[in-house]
A and B are shown apart, each in its own frame.
Chain A
Amino acid sequence: QSVLTQPPSVSAAPGQKVTISCSGSSSNIGNNYVSWYQQLPGTAPKLLIYDSNNRPSGIPGRFSGSKSDTSATLGITGLQTGDEADYYCGTWDDSLSAFVFGTGTTVTVL
């Protein structure tokens, strides 16, 4: 049972925008940077966002991250069929002294 809570699923039509929330507490998101990962079926997770709002080289600008207090948000604009995947947030938890992943969100392109 994760300390970071995400909605189980979100969906939208191609070209539209989706946002995925990640809710935590002062011991994790409230005091640390957040990262986001995309996992396509049968593959390893891929880093999309680091330090809460930065994109690694090669990640399109359609993906964005933000953080406010004890919550973080991943935004995907211009939704494409290739974006259908599971998405996870993650951060360090000071109370657990452990890295924690969110519960995960499945994105469906209608």
Chain B
Amino acid sequence: EVQLVESGGGVVRPGGSLRLSCAGSGFTFEDYGLSWVRQAPGKGPEWVSGINWKGGRTGYADSVKGRFAISRDNARNSLYLEMNSLRTEDTALYYCARSMGAGLRIYDFDYWGQGTLVTVSS
């Protein structure tokens, strides 16, 4: 069974940092592209960042470019999101999601985690 389990969320002050992790199991982790997708309370999902199967190509939404960094460790079946200079508008449930393909050009997400909540507040 494919599973994605996020962790690392919490409450942080504006300007602070946080590192999210996503552990994958039940599939060959290195064969798939992965993304972080967030959803603010009462809003629709927003793609935040994606990474291809090998980690050599990454992409970011304009809203987080220069502040967030995505990475993966295929030996540990893990995906990460380093978030810096956090803003109140970054408050959301952050999902880890698997692409059906291996590349960075994403068309779909076939498996999602349960999400980890990030709250940015003073």
Q: Which residues of A contact B (CB under 8 A)?
A: 2, 32-35, 37, 39, 44-47, 50-51, 56, 86, 88, 90-92, 96-104
Task: Give chain B nearest CB distance to A38 CB in angstroms.
Answer: 12
Please tell me if the beta carbons of B107 and A35 are within 8 angstroms of each other in the complex.
yes
A-B contact count (CB 8 A): 62
CA distance A1 to B57 in the complex (A): 26
Please tell me if the beta carbons of B107 and A50 are within 8 angstroms of each other in the complex.
yes
Partner of B108, one of A33, A44, A100, A104: A33
| B71 at interface, CB cutoff 8 A | no
**A99 CB contacts on chain B under 8 angstroms:** 35, 47, 50, 106
**A56 CB contacts on chain B under 8 angstroms:** 110
Please tell me if the beta carbons of A35 and B108 are within 8 angstroms of each other in the complex.
yes
Q: Which residues of B contact A (CB under 8 A)?
A: 35, 37, 44-47, 50, 59-62, 95, 100, 105-110, 112-115
**A45 CB contacts on chain B under 8 angstroms:** 37, 45, 95, 109, 112
Partner of B115, one of A33, A44, A47: A44
